[in-house]
Structure 1
Amino acid sequence: MQKALRKLGLVGPMDFALHVPLRYEDETRITLLRDARPGEVVQIEGVVTSCEVTFRPRRQLIVTVDDGTDVCTARFFNFYPNQQKALSEGQRVLLRGEVKPGFMGCTMLHPSFRAAGGELPDVLTPVYPSSGNLPQAYLRRAVQGGLERAQAAGLLAETLPADALQDLQRQLHQPPWPLAQALRYLHHPTPDVSVAALEDRSHPAWLRLKAEELLAQQLSQAQAHLERERLQAPALPLRRGGLHERLLAALPFSLTEAQRRVGEEIARDLQRGLPMHRLLQGDVGSGKTVVAALAAAICIDAGWQCVLMAPTEILAEQHFRKLLDWLTPLDVGVAWLTGSQKTKERREMLARIASGEAQLVVGTHAVIQDKVQFHKLALAIIDEQHRFGVQQRLALRQKMQGNAGAQDLPEAAETATICRQNLSGVAETGTSGAVEAGQVSEPHLLMMSATPIPRTLAMSYYADLHVSTIDELPPGRTPVLTKLISQQRRDEVIARIGQQLAEGRQVYWVCPLIEESEALDLQNATHTWEDLQAALPDVQVGLLHSRLPTAEKKAIMEAFSRGETGVLVSTTVIEVGVDVPNASLMVIEHAERFGLSQLHQLRGRVGRGAAASVCVLLYATNESGRVSETARERLRAMAETNDGFEIARRDLEIRGPGELLGARQSGAPLLRFADLEQDALLLDWARHWAPQMLRQHPRLAERHLQRWLGGRAEFLKA
């Protein structure tokens, strides 16, 4: 039982107190069978008139109960001897379940039951989220015990200052419930409660819980902001005639106004003595890589190292090639680091990084592994940051906070307060902007994302982050027309591919990859490849998937980039980073299986040249000729807009913040109770009061944070 409780995250008293019910059962009243309506869930009291096990059409326990007004038959397909004994003939019992009409009177399938007698409860019975074989009765006792312990230990005492409570009252248009009262009520609401208010979480008890949660989150963000302001970072000046200007002059294109604007915002941050913490967001193809390159040039020109981390080897290599082309002619040392490198090459790269010969390091998550020691790291750039789990982002921050030995820090939560001698040789170099020995120091952080962050998400999860937005596409990018086509018209799509190839264009065909069934999906991609080879015998058709060796993947992509391959059948490994301007048609098979942001990312692989481009979303329907409501919403959004910000807003509505942030699977304390869209007023209230509480009521703020986050607040800073 204890193991099952820990699996649910129920350890301390507050864990139990905040484990609110999924739904409720009304065991406070008894309904006569003659008054019960079909389909209604009711509780009846009666005498068992028969109890027998039958084997036709399958093994089941059939119990008849007479309440004096009618007879009800209860059926149990799963039962134990002790249940059979409790429901033996002559026993007076309470049954609760859904009433279904039948030829022999009403029936109940697997109703809950207990012996009759004693007083009925005066509150609704909670049904809690559970796991394994953890019985509800045991869980109810455990939660009630935890709630009582939390109250006795003072963990539910008021942490909001009086003026914050008054402001909350104005927001809610009613006095806010005390937290202890709100939790007691949510665990045991009275029968006269509005079920709708409980279900849509608009009840005053729910509003207090959501306000508390949002305040805890905003306190964590505000605290991280204050901690960062106390840190030092190398000031990286923008030198006239330096590497930044030389790179600008060498680029084969001009920057857009949006790129210039965000570049200036980043340059201003880097010149300060405080660690930059900035998110660079821009739609697919908006030109984030060159902005990152210009930031790296400022860092390198000041005598420091820069690292760029990407989530996949294909994307990392795309960055590496571009940066190599731009920076190598300017005598910048660029190193390449991935998990698939051979030992000798990897050893050479590690030596170049440790010595400082490699001024820019590009790679996958291999850059945060223990053996990687930077000489003088001053800037880290994380591309597609939401694709990394929270733990990986924290690992990079710790790597930044200590070139030698950051991986040995005892707890992530302690890293903000440990004196970080993190930039090797800082005191000795005399470099412009060097941090004096003994000062708490942390390099600059630039995160990039082609999945724009909706405003409400930025206000909540990125409150401690400055956001720069490239809201303009470079000239030459053509709008992509999106078409929804049923899988039944697959042959028509293949015929369209032939037309595109005849015009000298190239085509992507993307097959879904689902982790639980990787072999099956690989087989699906292989079958598609074979079908297209048969349908297009004069065309070279390539096949790209994650199981191929790195060298083979690279060769396949190079052949497609050179135009030797007409059609590239691929799993989602081409989602980000692939840039082939001649590709003007993308077919996404089983589009209903993909997430909205993933579909938008894939669509961004076409429309990169002057030719009109099309993205075909091939969707499959179920037996009734339909797709799920969620899939329908995604497909409709893709057809209606190319705007990445609108796509992100709709994706947030459909998926929620956990998946959008890449944090659901990594244990981050995501919002459990509040909703960013519905509770925007409460979020505004929490954002206003969090910094004030930290300044004016630090002890109350600390108690509030401890109550809600414990030692997990560090996740929100990643």
Structure 2
Amino acid sequence: MPDTKALSEPQKAMIRLGLARDIDLALHLPLRYEDETRIVKLRDAREGDVAQIEATVTACEIAYRPRRQLLVTVDDGSDTCVLRFFSFYPSQQKALAVGTRVRLRGELKGGFLGWQMIHPSFKPAGGELAAALTPVYPTSATLPQAYLRKAVLGGLGRADLSDTFPPGVTEALRPLVWALREALAFLHQPAPDVAMATLEDRSHPAWQRLKAEELLAQQLSQLLSKRERADLRSPALRARPQGLHEQLLAALPFKLTAAQRRVGEEIARDLARNIPMHRLLQGDVGSGKTVVAALAAAIAIDAGWQGALMAPTEILAEQHFRKLIGWLEPLFAPRGLRVAWLTGSQKKKERTEMLALVASGEAALVVGTHAVIQEQVQFKNLGLAIIDEQHRFGVAQRLALRAKMKEAGQEPHLLMMSATPIPRTLAMSYYADLDVSTIDELPPGRTPVVTKLIADSRRDEVTERIRAQIAQGRQVYWVCPLIEESEALDLTNATATHEALSAALPGVMVGLLHSRMPAPEKKAVMSLFTGGQMSVLVSTTVIEVGVDVPNASLMVIEHAERFGLSQLHQLRGRVGRGAAASACILLYSAGDAGRLGETARARLKAMAETADGFEIARRDLEIRGPGEFLGARQSGAPLLRFADLAVDTHLLEWARELAPMMLDRHAQLAEKHIARWLGGKSEYLKA
């Protein structure tokens, strides 16, 4: 990293933008382009055009109504145009003196009432016209476009852009006939006759080359990290006949579904090898991932090793803890083993006791939140690490859990779980380094949840419905998007909703749960709701994942238009867990204009149309892009900048096929390609 003290402001700004190497500059592509290659006449222009004209100044004055502004009238011989400057300097006023010929560029407004431009760029008329479209780059306040354009062209000239594709591979894909240097040179300075639409939608062959390069870099780095992991060692964990695994299967109060058995066998095969398992277990809300994790832990414990399960919230960790204790403690007791509980809100005495159990190995399974990875937690012999809702954890946190194994050159097997199913294109790209197991059926006895969209103006009807559910002995969730009032978003907060429902339902216990509450208070509220004494729970999204109350039959989501699709699906999955007919009401507010935004409408429509988690995930990817699914997995690692998984599947499949061949037969080219595109960032992909 260069010594930033010796750098100018623009140089510091470039480093902040990640433009440290020549290749970074070469790959810093324009947001849009300005056409300074031709002069147009005002009579030929259309409303909304960004046009470049040459004209003579016919009037220049400062006006004070409705606010201070410089008004300049120009005539290009075909029509006149008024220029408005709301902030200006005396030097600009002087440069626009009456009689001066100027070249102007700006967006034309008006037409019928006369043309005008607001804050156009201008310079003296004459001089050569640009030979190519002028790039406009993503930048910051301290980095002028002119400086950045010069720096980018310099970087483009110096960068090593020699071909890293193995010989003969570009012929397979027509759009890849452009070389990288040719593609970049073109995208930084396109010819004026290019069809702008092909630059904007990135379908131009120059763009295709860049997307293919980027996807190949991603595939190579993922595959390389997978192969490097295969060189590491883990303990081979095998289930013993009549051991803990078989005893747990026999003791469960339900039968496993075929999907649970299948993924259980996939995990057991991984654990039996001495190569670290790196598996993602995905399954829709309520598909029974916890029991699969418990069976995996039983195999590890049977082989004499410890297991750890880390969840992102205390409520979710406690849900797992309760289930695991119920299933495992009766089997643990005769063996002198325990399930330990670790969380940030624990009293010192309890925490010290738990730490001692973990260190001695008496705690065969450790369940908790981030507290599990803190420095003072010392495992005797961690063999299996399980991370629930893995996208909620960062790279550093996952690495910290894997580092809890003391044996040099070894690491624990890793099982990651997610209730947000991952669309196929995402599994092929960002998750290419993982083995994926999918539970694709729900346990029997689950009732389908009816989803209804209801406008906020009909809240009274919703309250009536709640009253009817309570009369039948059922329980209700009401979820709000914010904890406290915000000036920017005038939302009814959880506290106000709690008060309104308490007033509307006299004699009914209505609870309130939000993330600012102290842990003991949260615990007390949850146990009242879980125990059935509390009929209505008003909550922020802390109940999104893992809460299991089979008697709850109605979920009301307030301001549903403000939630993400996966989050809405997760919340809906909190009901329909028992035999009672269940419903999810999406209360939406259409806003001042009485209209819902396009994205919000698409999300709510998807929720009403399907309950299939995979279809929901596919639509969410279409609407929001990959960030929602990846969460903190990619902290510091590169999200795709150029390729779009929704439209570039053919390039992704090509890169996926090429990557193993390239690593096997062209290792140096592969290494050069990864270094060019990812620099030091590829390390993050290994978590």
Q: 1:494 aligns with which of 463, 470, 491?
A: 463
Alpha-carbon distance change, 15 to 696 in structure 1, aligned in 2, over 3 angstroms: same
2-structure distance, mates of 1:680, 1:471:
24
Structure 2 match to 1:717: 686
Structure 2 match to 1:355: 360
| Secondary structure at the counterpart of residue 711 of structure 1 | helix
Are 1:163 and 2:165 an aligned pair?
A: no
The Cα shift of 1:355 comes to 2.3
Structure 2 match to 1:471: 440
Matched AA of 1:644: G
Q: 1:42 aligns with which of 44, 51, 59?
A: 51
Structure 2 match to 1:178: 179
Structure 1's consecutive aligned runs of 4 or more residues displaced over 6 angstroms after TM superposition are 518-523
| Secondary structure at the counterpart of residue 529 of structure 1 | helix
Q: 1:394 aligns with which of 390, 399, 403?
A: 399
| Secondary structure at the counterpart of residue 511 of structure 2 | strand
The Cα shift of 1:133 comes to 4.5
Matched AA of 1:351: A
Alpha-carbon distance change, 631 to 613 in structure 1, aligned in 2, over 3 angstroms: same
Structure 2 match to 1:289: 290
Q: Work out whether residues 590 and 617 of structure 1, in 8 Å CA contact, stay in contact via their aligned partners in 2.
A: yes
Structure 2 match to 1:414: none
Q: Work out whether residues 244 and 297 of structure 1, in 8 Å CA contact, stay in contact via their aligned partners in 2.
A: yes
2-structure distance, mates of 1:696, 1:379:
35
After TM superposition, list the pairs within 5 Å mapping 1:43-442 onto structure 2.
43-101=52-110, 105-150=114-159, 154=160, 156-165=161-170, 169-172=171-174, 174=175, 176-331=177-332, 332-397=337-402, 399-400=403-404, 403=405, 422-423=406-407, 440-442=409-411
1-structure distance, mates of 2:92, 2:343:
59
2-structure distance, mates of 1:8, 1:293:
45
The Cα shift of 1:254 comes to 1.3
2-structure distance, mates of 1:82, 1:334:
76
1-structure distance, mates of 2:577, 2:598:
32
The Cα shift of 1:261 comes to 0.9
Deviations 1:615-638 (A, max 9, x none): 000000022211000000000000
Q: Work out whether residues 232 and 410 of structure 2, in 8 Å CA contact, stay in contact via their aligned partners in 1.
A: yes
Alpha-carbon distance change, 346 to 116 in structure 1, aligned in 2, over 3 angstroms: farther
2-structure distance, mates of 1:617, 1:104:
47
Give aligned-pair identity as a percent.
73
Q: Work out whether residues 394 and 715 of structure 1, in 8 Å CA contact, stay in contact via their aligned partners in 2.
A: no
| Secondary structure at the counterpart of residue 393 of structure 1 | helix
Q: Work out whether residues 522 and 545 of structure 1, in 8 Å CA contact, stay in contact via their aligned partners in 2.
A: no
Matched AA of 1:321: R
2-structure distance, mates of 1:495, 1:327:
43
1-structure distance, mates of 2:485, 2:279:
35
The Cα shift of 1:543 comes to 0.4
2-structure distance, mates of 1:177, 1:171:
11
Q: 1:625 aligns with which of 594, 606, 611?
A: 594
Alpha-carbon distance change, 395 to 147 in structure 1, aligned in 2, over 3 angstroms: farther
Q: 1:587 aligns with which of 546, 551, 556?
A: 556
The Cα shift of 1:6 comes to 2.6
Structure 2 match to 1:417: none
Normalization by structure 1: what TM-score? Answer: 0.91
Task: Report the number of matched residues.
Answer: 674
Deviations 1:501-527 (A, max 9, x none): 111101000000389949988971111
1-structure distance, mates of 2:572, 2:95:
61
Q: 1:507 aligns with which of 471, 476, 494?
A: 476
| Secondary structure at the counterpart of residue 168 of structure 2 | helix
Further displaced range: 467-476 or 566-575:
467-476
Alpha-carbon distance change, 14 to 514 in structure 1, aligned in 2, over 3 angstroms: farther
Deviations 1:675-705 (A, max 9, x none): 1121111111101111111111111111000
Q: Work out whether residues 219 and 705 of structure 1, in 8 Å CA contact, stay in contact via their aligned partners in 2.
A: yes
The Cα shift of 1:712 comes to 0.6
Structure 1 vs Structure 2 CA RMSD = 1.9
| Secondary structure at the counterpart of residue 493 of structure 2 | helix
Deviations 1:522-545 (A, max 9, x none): 971111001001110120100000
The Cα shift of 1:323 comes to 0.8
2-structure distance, mates of 1:479, 1:595:
21
Deviations 1:339-358 (A, max 9, x none): 22223322222222222222
1-structure distance, mates of 2:342, 2:490:
29
Matched AA of 1:595: G
2-structure distance, mates of 1:708, 1:266:
34
The Cα shift of 1:14 comes to 1.6
Deviations 1:575-620 (A, max 9, x none): 0011101000010000000000000000000000100000000000
The Cα shift of 1:100 comes to 1.9
1-structure distance, mates of 2:338, 2:118:
72
Alpha-carbon distance change, 514 to 126 in structure 1, aligned in 2, over 3 angstroms: farther
1-structure distance, mates of 2:397, 2:183:
37
Q: 2:428 aligns with which of 459, 464, 484?
A: 459
The Cα shift of 1:81 comes to 4.0
